[in-house]
């Protein structure tokens, strides 16, 4: 590896994680491939009260989660952000107890978070004769080499990707949705936690761009669990064929979990689906979102009160800044007033796009391109005040996992940036935008 590349690689690993630490036993190696990153290690815990099988506790690793794969565009070899995971150091892999716990109460109850993880484990079982650790490494290798066609070429690889990456993201996304203030933002005041005081909120329609890998789907099912009167109609669009994965996840969140034969009568009586099937409709559309016509995009958006673009927008800008700008401008014209756009992506230098050629290329933050498109280009001479109001923004935020969670695959805390925009009515002054 050339010196300048090694220096850049070290900067990626050190970002927000303290000083560089070479993993034990790898000093002096060439670092041609970061195979030491996130080795799949587990610690054995006691047999649970309700299960005869041994449960496994993963080491919970804090990392900047990129979104390798699950593209909303065709598999082009563009900058997907750094596909290799990053670590603070290797010393904290020695014991899961070394991971510090968040001081604040989680917005999503810990019991509900565990149910969400159980959904992935139940929906996407790995055959007993399969080497899960080896398959994860195969997927990582394809992602690291930007070979997305190979990474998502088989259903087993899709299942493993969802198990490994989508599960922890689902927890983070649910937390983001709650912070996004679901009730008062995109549901209005029509819904309450108390069923006998709630009015029928009608159908909340959501479009998840790049949502094929299932994290958004399970996160929204958890939101439906929190708000028992909520009805959700979700359209997930992605370039790879994630329909088998989404079908299994949707079926699992809408049926009662499988309990151990040793489960108590109280647990059996309390056993419920994450969300009732009559309140949860999911449809998957396989599209390259950058190649959609205005009419195709209009059919996808329909009457959506929320559009999410999770760990996907930087990928789109990296593939084609011009086409992504056109997509956002078309989205502006199609989305109805008072609807919401939620953008979540990797923070800092992980979400930058290089524009220009020759001696004059420059790197632009994704957030700048997003703001420039929605708040400058989306305006017009007739509507100088703009069509979007930025309601919230945070350039770097953490979702930290609790080590009480139990899962059979390594989990990661997630650092991200997020931006919330609301579509304004024509001629309406958006007021002060969040910077």
Question: Residue 38's pLDDT is what?
Answer: 33
Among 92, 21, 183, residue whose Cα is nearest residue 413: 92
| Residue 22 pLDDT | 39
Q: What pLDDT does 43 receive?
A: 30
Strand boundaries in 230-387, DSSP class E: 231-238, 280-286, 306-310, 340-345, 352-355, 362-365
Q: How far apart are CA 192 and CA 197, in angstroms?
A: 7
Distance, in Å, from the CA atom of 85 to the CA atom of 36, rounded to the nearest integer, reads: 10
Distances in whole angstroms, Cα of residue 419 to Cα of each of 340, 341, 353: 10, 8, 18
Of the candidate ranges 90-99, 166-175, 338-347, 424-433, the one whose mean pLDDT is the lowest: 90-99
**Distance between CA atoms of residues 7 and 2, nearest Å:** 9
Given pLDDT bands bounded at 50, 70 and 90, which one contains residue 291?
Answer: very high
Q: Name the nearest CA neighbour of 113 among 183, 171, 70.
A: 171
Contact 1, 31 (CB under 8 A): yes
All structural domains of the chain, each given as residue ranges with its CATH number in brackets, are 3-22+30-404+416-423 (3.40.50.150)
More confident residue, 78 or 55: 78
Q: What's residue 234's pLDDT?
A: 97
DSSP state of 75: -
Q: What confidence tier does 427 reach under pLDDT thresholds 50, 70, 90? A: low
The pLDDT of residue 292 is above 90 = yes
Going by pLDDT thresholds of 50, 70 and 90, the confidence category of residue 203 is confident
Per-residue model confidence (pLDDT) at position 432 = 63
Of 13-27, 129-143, 415-429, the range with the lowest mean pLDDT is 13-27
pLDDT of residue 49: 30
Paired tokens of 4: 């300048």
- Cα–Cα nearest to 310, from 376, 231, 212, 394: 212
| Confidence at residue 363, expressed as pLDDT on a 0 to 100 scale | 85
Per-residue model confidence as pLDDT tens digits over 226-271: 988 889 999 999 999 999 999 999 999 999 988 888 888 888 888 8
pLDDT greater than 90 at residue 385:
no
Question: 431 falls in which pLDDT band (50, 70, 90)?
Answer: low
83: pLDDT strictly greater than 60: no
R_g (Cα) of the chain, nearest Å: 22
Is the model's pLDDT at 342 over the cut of 90?
yes
Query: Does 358 score more than 70 pLDDT?
Result: no
**Average per-residue pLDDT in the chain?**
75
C-alpha span between 137 and 130 (Å, rounded) = 13
Q: Report the C-alpha dihedral over residues 6, 7, 13, 19, rounded to 10 degrees.
A: 130
Collapsing DSSP to helix, strand or coil, 278 comes out as helix
Residue 198: its pLDDT value, please?
Answer: 46
């Amino acid at each position: 590896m050339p010196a300048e590349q090694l220096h850049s690689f070290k900067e990626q690993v050190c970002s927000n994680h303290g000083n560089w630490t070479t993993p034990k036993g790898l000093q002096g190696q060439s670092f041609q491939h970061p195979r030491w990153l996130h080795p799949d290690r587990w610690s054995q815990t006691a047999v649970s009260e309700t299960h005869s099988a041994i449960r496994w506790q993963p080491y919970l690793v804090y990392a900047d989660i990129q979104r390798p794969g699950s593209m909303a565009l065709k598999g082009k070899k563009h900058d997907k952000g750094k596909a290799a995971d990053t670590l603070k150091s290797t010393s904290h892999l020695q014991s899961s107890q070394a991971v510090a716990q968040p001081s604040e109460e989680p917005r999503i109850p810990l019991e509900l978070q565990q149910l969400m993880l159980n959904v992935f484990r139940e929906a996407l079982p790995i055959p007993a004769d399969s080497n899960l650790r080896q398959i994860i490494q195969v997927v990582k290798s394809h992602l690291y080499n930007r070979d997305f066609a190979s990474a998502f070429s088989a259903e087993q690889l899709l299942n493993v990707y969802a198990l490994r990456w989508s599960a922890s993201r689902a927890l983070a996304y649910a937390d983001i949705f709650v912070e996004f203030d679901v009730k008062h933002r995109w549901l209005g005041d029509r819904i309450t936690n108390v069923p006998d005081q709630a009015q029928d909120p009608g159908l909340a329609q959501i479009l998840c761009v790049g949502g094929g890998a299932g994290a958004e789907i399970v996160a929204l099912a958890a939101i439906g669990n929190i708000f028992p009167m909520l009805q959700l109609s979700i359209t997930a669009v992605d370039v790879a064929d994630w329909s088998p994965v989404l079908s299994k996840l949707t079926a699992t969140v809408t049926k009662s979990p499988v309990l151990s034969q040793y489960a108590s009568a109280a647990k059996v009586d309390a056993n419920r689906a994450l969300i009732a099937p009559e309140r949860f409709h999911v449809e998957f559309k396989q599209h390259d979102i950058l190649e959609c016509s205005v009419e195709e995009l209009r059919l996808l958006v329909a009457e959506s009160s929320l559009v999410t673009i999770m760990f996907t927008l930087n990928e789109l800008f990296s593939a084609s800044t011009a086409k992504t700008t056109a997509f956002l401008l078309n989205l502006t014209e199609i989305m109805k007033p008072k609807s919401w756009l939620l953008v979540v992506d990797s923070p800092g230098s992980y979400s930058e796009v290089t524009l220009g050629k020759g001696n004059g290329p420059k790197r632009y933050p994704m957030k700048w391109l997003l703001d420039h498109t929605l708040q400058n280009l989306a305006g017009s001479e007739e509507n100088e005040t703009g069509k979007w109001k930025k309601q919230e923004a945070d350039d770097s935020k953490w979702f930290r996992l609790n080590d009480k969670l139990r899962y059979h695959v390594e989990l990661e805390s997630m650092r991200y940036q997020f931006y919330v925009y609301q579509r304004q009515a024509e001629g309406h002054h958006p007021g002060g935008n969040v910077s």
